[in-house]
Chains A and B, each alone.
Chain A
Amino acid sequence: MTTPPGTRSFEEILWQTQARVRAYIAGMGISPHDVDDLAQETYLQLYRNREKIPDDVPPELWVKGIAKNVCLNHLRKHARRGRLHRHALAEILTNTTTRLERMASQDALGAALEDCLSKLPPERREMLDLRYKQELSSDSIAEKTRSTAEAVRVALHRIRAGLRDCIAQKLAREP
């Protein structure tokens, strides 16, 4: 039994980069329900061409290069409404590098997020639970919490901003 050339490095790249590459794809404005499909398409292309992964380019950069092309192709072909606008938005966002994105290349990102989540007050955790675990819209959350959809959106916005700052602080302290 032999292992094909490049297989091990492909596995490592997949395990080490998948969370951040999916975040990168989402950061192009791709709809959440398309993110994993496009990420899979990206890794399929990477796998088929795994012998071509260069030694002198960070693998994550390489994968993101493939992801960018896959997503722009997808937007060209499939975006039902506002096709040109979505494509333009993706290009703007691709050319924008944020502080979180620069730090997100660190392996400690997942740990930092978990740590920041564990320190959230219960009501904020509950809000995230409703939005992401139960996948409720802001309208439904507003109904449950006797609030308004706009207030829910603002609250979620603040929670995400707070988590981003918390992660940035933690990663900045990483050795």
Chain B
Amino acid sequence: MSDANSLEVLLQQFLENRDSLSEEEMARLLEALRAQPPLAERLKDHLMMDELLAQQYTRDRQDFVGKFEQRLREENGHSAPGTPGNSSETYALRSPDHLESLSASPRLSANGSTVAGKPPETPPRVEKVAVSQPPHSPPLGSASHPWLTFFAVLGGLLLLAGGLLRLEYTDAARKIAQVEEVTGMVLIYRGEVGTVAAAGMPILPGDEIRVRDESQLTLAFRDQSRVTIDSDSKVVFQPGAAHWPGLLTSELGKELFVFQGVLEAEVVPQAPGRPMILQTPQLLAEVLGTRLIVAAEETQSRVEVIEGVVAVRSKHQPDPPVEIASGHQVVATKDKFRVSPGAWPSKREGLVFLLSPQSTVSRTPDQGVRVFAEGANQTPSILRPRRDARFEQGRMVFRGGAFLAEDPTASALLAACRETNALSLEATFQTDELSQTGPARLLTFSTSSHAWNFSLTQEGPSCVLRLLTWVVSQTEQSHEIPLFEIPDDQPHHVVVTYAPNQLRCYLDGKEIAHGAKVRGTFAAWKPQHLLFGDEWNGKREWKGGLAGVAIFNRVLSAKEAARNALHYRLQFPHGSNATETKK
């Protein structure tokens, strides 16, 4: 057997049983690991993978937090439930949020461990233990002779000042920003020379940044402002505008020209009179501290303000700048400059179903009533009413009926979500009664009360999500997760977004619940019906109004959920102007 082969055997034996190697074999393995860093990397990767798989599969490794809680109680000699203790400090190691505590339904908890209703804990003793912390620096100025200290400090300061004066004209001093994160292929051109971007690289005045297909670049400025440039973009840091020489008090200006593509900026408050300036061929935006998106094409540009106010002016018209408030956008061409609410939904990527208030309604003698929503890849998705369900002023109104999506929509939804194992539900709902039970179905992807992939429901005043997932070690898991208490019978915007280990819920643009405990993929999902307002076989009817329904096969970020809530409210303040055709 060759050395390499026998080493491989040693490695695999060690992976199987950490105590299986003899002293001599361990010594050989160590020698090889020291001499071959890639071998050490491979071993470490396998050890970590081995552990991750054990966490995933081995049943008694899955409730680590529960076991830790038990140990914490034992360590602290915790009194039995009901025993008076120090109640001024309560502590129970439950998940860090409202959702986890609510999701601990014993009936449907993922691994059978009941986590709700734990008694308050007494505080653990605070003990002094050795924790790896950086040692304290010795106090400054501890030299024994005061004059010696004085001259040493003075000399040091003079050297420092001299060094800084020289540094002022170096690349380090001229640096406007630096690369924080790169995904894919990004090139930075300085003069004629292009360099592949990497984290930590400085950006200087005059640099041209080209972000290629399926790539992204995040830059961090000295003042912690951040700019993210998306794929297929070309951005130039304007030369001459970024640097005013003069000791270290000089402020570095920021002037970017977006020739093409999309740029998102998160700008901290800027010094008065020194805004960040973002230009496109069609417009110029002055930013004093806000979040915004700039998108530029050859003939048209757009600035969308996410937070704060931005002054924008056209480059082709003499009009003064217009202040654009959050949730609004300006679209500029050579001839036009139009301000409007931001688009809803703000990103269409991963959209598999969309019912806009502007959806078309058709009533014909042969087909009856049909609502034309939008399916995956902008294909039409037809909804048909069942019993007493109507589409009025851009929203579905339920008084004991449902809308059913035709089969192609349901099939596309199933395929899309199974492909990504992610789901986001967005809707604006208005319940007629806070006491509805069933649970009553707002929207559901199901065939009966016992066969569902997901359902968004109302049970009394609670909004509850049902979700079916598949976990390797335990096959199918049916989760029933209370999300929030419905505040009142007014319209509310909700987003529920899920990918394994990350479930989040946003109400009216604000995060209301999140948790990492619900896990699993959609491998167990089966063909079902997509309905709004009731179950496929009836008897779970919901009474209220539902509008602006969007379903995605991806996770929506907190920012996106907030933007969608705001844009929807601004776009459709009074329901809508749905188009109706009659034949």
Answer whether A129 and B57 are a contact pair too, CB < 8 Å, given A111-B499, A114-B472, A114-B500.
yes
B98 vs chain A, min Cβ distance (A): 12
| In the bound complex, CA of A1 to CA of B88 (Å) | 6
**A8: which B residues are within 8 A, CB to CB?**
96
Contact B58 A132 (CB under 8 A): yes
Which of B130-138, B143-151, B246-254 interfaces with chain A?
Answer: B130-138
A-B contact count (CB 8 A): 222
**B499: which A residues are within 8 A, CB to CB?**
108, 111
B216 vs chain A, min Cβ distance (A): 7
Check B257 for interface membership: any CB of A closer than 8 A. no
B57 vs chain A, min Cβ distance (A): 4
Candidates B52, B72, B87; contact of A19 at CB < 8 Å: B52
**A125: which B residues are within 8 A, CB to CB?**
472
Q: Which of B51-72 contact A (CB under 8 A)?
A: 51-59, 61, 64-65, 67-68, 71-72
Using an 8 Å CB-CB cutoff, how does the interface string of B514-551 with A read, 1 for contact, 0 for none?
A: 00100111010000000000000000000000000000
Contact B93 A14 (CB under 8 A): yes
Check A144 for interface membership: any CB of B closer than 8 A. no
Nearest to A113 among chain B residues (CB) is B52
Check A146 for interface membership: any CB of B closer than 8 A. no
Check A147 for interface membership: any CB of B closer than 8 A. no
**B45: which A residues are within 8 A, CB to CB?**
98-101, 160-161, 164
Contact A160 B501 (CB under 8 A): no
Most buried by A among B67, B68, B89: B68
Check B223 for interface membership: any CB of A closer than 8 A. no
Candidates A40, A100, A128; contact of B67 at CB < 8 Å: A40
Most buried by A among B13, B59, B127, B500: B500
Contact A48 B51 (CB under 8 A): no
Check A77 for interface membership: any CB of B closer than 8 A. no
Contact B95 A11 (CB under 8 A): yes
Contact A11 B94 (CB under 8 A): yes
Check A12 for interface membership: any CB of B closer than 8 A. yes
Contact A133 B57 (CB under 8 A): yes
Contact B56 A132 (CB under 8 A): yes
Nearest to A73 among chain B residues (CB) is B130
**B183: which A residues are within 8 A, CB to CB?**
172, 175
Contact B132 A43 (CB under 8 A): no
Q: Which of A1-37 contact B (CB under 8 A)?
A: 1-4, 7-8, 11-12, 14-16, 18-19, 22-32, 35-36
Contact A22 B55 (CB under 8 A): yes
Which of B15-23, B200-208, B306-314, B320-328 interfaces with chain A?
Answer: B15-23
Which of B27-35, B186-194, B281-289, B374-382 interfaces with chain A?
Answer: B27-35
Contact B65 A14 (CB under 8 A): yes
Answer whether A29 and B47 are a contact pair too, CB < 8 Å, given A111-B502, A115-B421, A153-B12.
yes
B511 vs chain A, min Cβ distance (A): 14
Contact A35 B52 (CB under 8 A): no
Contact B470 A44 (CB under 8 A): no
Contact B40 A96 (CB under 8 A): yes
Contact B516 A132 (CB under 8 A): no
Contact A32 B46 (CB under 8 A): no
**A88: which B residues are within 8 A, CB to CB?**
30
Which of B118-126, B158-166, B452-460, B564-572 interfaces with chain A?
Answer: B118-126
**Chain A: interface residue total (CB-CB under 8 A):** 86
**B216: which A residues are within 8 A, CB to CB?**
175
Contact B59 A133 (CB under 8 A): yes
| In the bound complex, CA of A135 to CA of B10 (Å) | 21
Nearest to A95 among chain B residues (CB) is B40
Contact A4 B50 (CB under 8 A): no
Contact A4 B96 (CB under 8 A): no
**B59: which A residues are within 8 A, CB to CB?**
133
A14 vs chain B, min Cβ distance (A): 6
**B56: which A residues are within 8 A, CB to CB?**
113-114, 117, 132
Nearest to A94 among chain B residues (CB) is B44
Contact B75 A32 (CB under 8 A): no
Check B473 for interface membership: any CB of A closer than 8 A. yes
A12 vs chain B, min Cβ distance (A): 4
Most buried by A among B48, B54, B68, B120: B48
**A45: which B residues are within 8 A, CB to CB?**
129, 131
| In the bound complex, CA of A27 to CA of B14 (Å) | 12
A137 vs chain B, min Cβ distance (A): 7
A59 vs chain B, min Cβ distance (A): 12
Nearest to A3 among chain B residues (CB) is B90
Candidates A2, A48, A49, A163; contact of B88 at CB < 8 Å: A2
Contact B50 A26 (CB under 8 A): yes
Contact B15 A157 (CB under 8 A): yes
**A137: which B residues are within 8 A, CB to CB?**
16-17
Candidates A1, A19, A44; contact of B90 at CB < 8 Å: A1
Contact B120 A1 (CB under 8 A): yes
Candidates A4, A89, A164; contact of B123 at CB < 8 Å: A4
Q: Which of A131-157 contact B (CB under 8 A)?
A: 131-133, 135, 137-138, 150, 153-154, 156-157
Check B26 for interface membership: any CB of A closer than 8 A. yes
Name 21 A/B residue pairs within 8 A (Cβ), A-sorted: A2-B90, A3-B91, A4-B89, A25-B51, A28-B47, A68-B132, A81-B23, A85-B27, A89-B30, A93-B44, A98-B41, A107-B502, A107-B516, A110-B501, A111-B500, A114-B56, A128-B472, A157-B46, A160-B50, A164-B45, A172-B183
By a beta-carbon cutoff of 8 Å, the part of chain A in contact with chain B is 1-4, 7-8, 11-12, 14-16, 18-19, 22-32, 35-36, 39-40, 43-49, 52, 65-66, 68-69, 80-82, 85-86, 88-89, 92-93, 96-101, 104, 107-111, 113-115, 117-118, 125, 128-129, 131-133, 135, 137-138, 150, 153-154, 156-157, 160-161, 163-164, 172, 175
Q: Closest 9 A-B residue pairs measured CB to CB?
A: A26-B51, A132-B57, A111-B500, A85-B26, A65-B132, A11-B96, A153-B12, A160-B49, A110-B501
